[in-house]
Structure 1
Amino acid sequence: MGLLDDIAALAKLAAASIDDVGAAAGRATAKAAGVVVDDTAVTPQYLRSVAAKRELPIVWKIAKGSIRNKLIFILPAALLLSQFLPWLLPIILMIGGTYLAYEGAEKIWHKVSGHHDAEVPATEVSPEAEKKMIAGAIRTDLILSAEIMVIALAEVADEAFWSRLLILVVVAFVITIIVYGIVAAIVKMDDVGLRLAQYESGFAKAFGRGLVLAMPRVLAVISVVGTIAMLWVGGHILLVNLGADGTGWIPAPYEWVHHLEVAIHDGTGALGGTLGWLFNTLCSAIVGLIVGAAVVAVLHLLPSRKKDQEKEEPVSH
């Protein structure tokens, strides 16, 4: 009876621990919700030139790559760095933020300069192009996932090491399922419309045709939102981490942005929360655009100089 009593006590303790892990994982997931929205907006743009039969397999490959990013690369690195080199985390995040800002600015540069690649018909995407596209999506996911996991880690920093590990594993799976479940639903919506258009019901036919006609426009809007999201998230990472504790560089510019955000929130009544958030987002996007444009300019200027130097060199006989 004493042994059974001890077992019952351990079972209650384990159940309480599971409840604590679930609650903490929920808090951490909610804290990272902003980046989840960005991740969901960014990913569908990689699928614009993909044949319908390849959409879900590609989403599945990107989702597996995302889980691999979170569990194999980001989670161990984040836990070890937070334990032994916490000052290095902001610097790594800033490198990732700069890369995201560069990707967003480069997309804008391609649009305004007319040097963007022509749309490839969906039926002509080669296996090599598909692999390159998946690799690009997973690479972008790595940056977004890093911020998600670091935000979640900060939320549960007071937990014991093994609790933190378990909570972050739960967060990794929950967020990946949410993001890529929504992405799969978005990219297959036109197929749902085609199926509905074959029904006998007049409402189903009209709704199905509406979906089919709307999806190209929806994907075009998502592509624009994804570009803005890259600038927004990249700029936000830079703003938050530029003066973070441990870097010792300059006072955090994010303090100024946050101070004005709070002032807008408190001084504009019912719309204060929305206007404050928009101000914060606008500042982040501007920083992302400036930094990304600078990187794009350097990367495009250096090859041009190299070509000019090669043209100026005399040809030896």
Structure 2
Amino acid sequence: MSGLLALLDDVAGIAKVAAASVDDVAAQAAKAGAKAAGAVIDDAAVTPKYVQGFAPARELPIIWKIARGSIRNKLLILLPAALLLSNFAPWAIAPLLMLGGAYLCFEGAEKIYHALVPHDDSHVFEEDVPGDPAHLEEKKAAGAIKTDFILSAEIMTIILSAIPPSGFWMEAATLAFAGVGITVAVYGSVALIVKMDDVGLFMAQNGRFGLTRGFGRALVRAMPKVMKLLTIIGTAAMLWVGGAIIVHGLEELGFGWLGHHIHDWAEAVAHLVPAAWEGFVEWSAKAAMDGVFGLALGLALIPVATKVLVPLWGALRGKKDAAQ
């Protein structure tokens, strides 16, 4: 009997350790996921455009297709790559983060530049080609998954950099937990956003009460403005996160001048307001300065991308197609 009790006690101890490990994974994933908030917001802001122009009945299937591709990207490609980096080339994490941050700055700056100075951006963004709806749907989903791959790589690298030193399996579990959780949050939110106008239309046409029908009509009218606001928030988040990643990366590489000045300037601004608001104002000022730096860097990268990288990529693709 005492042996059985001892065994049960050991099992209870193992269960407690396992539960604690699960709690640790969830806590680390939540903290690390918060670090990737800007890229996550951008992911959620970018995706709705891929279902525009399709029949309402096809919107959710397309989102589900993109979400499946996103999970495959994160778990089958990016997670193993991140673990290899963490264990065999940790020195490469900061430069890769900075490369992703530069891409976010370029994307955000390109959107602002295009809004202020309308121009042909087919060299950056794929144009819609009319054709068979099924083929167009596949093409749109494939394009969204490619864009998601870039953003997911940035998200997973940010998460990896935010995980405190731990064992291989803890890192793997945290990355997987955070990656899947972020994907569910992003594409669940996207599904709600793209169907909200349908919900409003249904309420406007079928509501039993005048208030319900009025709310439905207001919802339909509000959705274009909501989508525009989401695009603005996503662009600001790209510039803020991209700029912050570059500034932090420079500090890690030994070039801390800019980061120190941004910190000092943010503190100086915070001292101008009552003590209760200092923390919020300091964070806001730092985020704004990171965003301004991200915008400046992104604008500088536009000619590099459009005049050098895109033609070079086109030439390489042309040679590949000719060889085939």
Q: Which residue of 2 aligns with 1:289?
A: 295
- Sort the Cα spacing of 1:276 and 1:65 in 2 relative to 1 into closer, same or farther, 3 A: farther
- Sort the Cα spacing of 1:115 and 1:190 in 2 relative to 1 into closer, same or farther, 3 A: same
Asked if residue 178 in structure 1 is aligned to residue 182 in structure 2, the reply is no
C-alpha distance after superposition, 1:251-294 (max 9, x if no partner): 35223223322333344223333333332232222222222222
Could you tell me the TM-score, scaled by structure 2's length? 0.79
Structure 2 spans left out of the alignment, 5+ residues: 313-324
Q: Which residue of 1 aligns with 2:118?
A: 113
- Sort the Cα spacing of 1:234 and 1:51 in 2 relative to 1 into closer, same or farther, 3 A: farther
- 2 CA distance for matches of 1:71 and 1:286? 34
Q: Which residue of 2 aligns with 1:225?
A: 233
- Sort the Cα spacing of 1:68 and 1:208 in 2 relative to 1 into closer, same or farther, 3 A: same
Pairing partner for 1:94 from 95, 98, 112 = 98
Asked if residue 251 in structure 1 is aligned to residue 259 in structure 2, the reply is no
- 1 CA distance for matches of 2:139 and 2:239? 22
Identity among equivalent positions (%) equals: 47
CA contact (8 A) 1:44 1:223 kept: no
Structure 1 spans left out of the alignment, 5+ residues: 307-317
C-alpha distance after superposition, 1:121-170 (max 9, x if no partner): 9x988444444433443333334333433333333322222112112211
CA contact (8 A) 1:243 1:251 kept: yes
Asked if residue 7 in structure 1 is aligned to residue 11 in structure 2, the reply is yes
> How do 1:71-90 and structure 2 match up within 5 A?
71-90=75-94
Could you tell me the TM-score, scaled by structure 1's length? 0.81
Q: Which residue of 1 aligns with 2:64?
A: 60
- Sort the Cα spacing of 1:187 and 1:298 in 2 relative to 1 into closer, same or farther, 3 A: same
Q: Which residue of 2 aligns with 1:144?
A: 151
CA contact (8 A) 1:44 1:222 kept: no
- Sort the Cα spacing of 1:114 and 1:205 in 2 relative to 1 into closer, same or farther, 3 A: same
Deviation at 1:210, TM superposition (A): 0.7
CA contact (8 A) 2:73 2:149 kept: yes
Question: CA RMSD for the aligned pairs?
Answer: 3.1
Asked if residue 208 in structure 1 is aligned to residue 212 in structure 2, the reply is no
CA contact (8 A) 2:263 2:286 kept: yes
C-alpha distance after superposition, 1:47-95 (max 9, x if no partner): 4444322221222122122222221222222222122211111111222
C-alpha distance after superposition, 1:223-244 (max 9, x if no partner): 2333333333322222221332
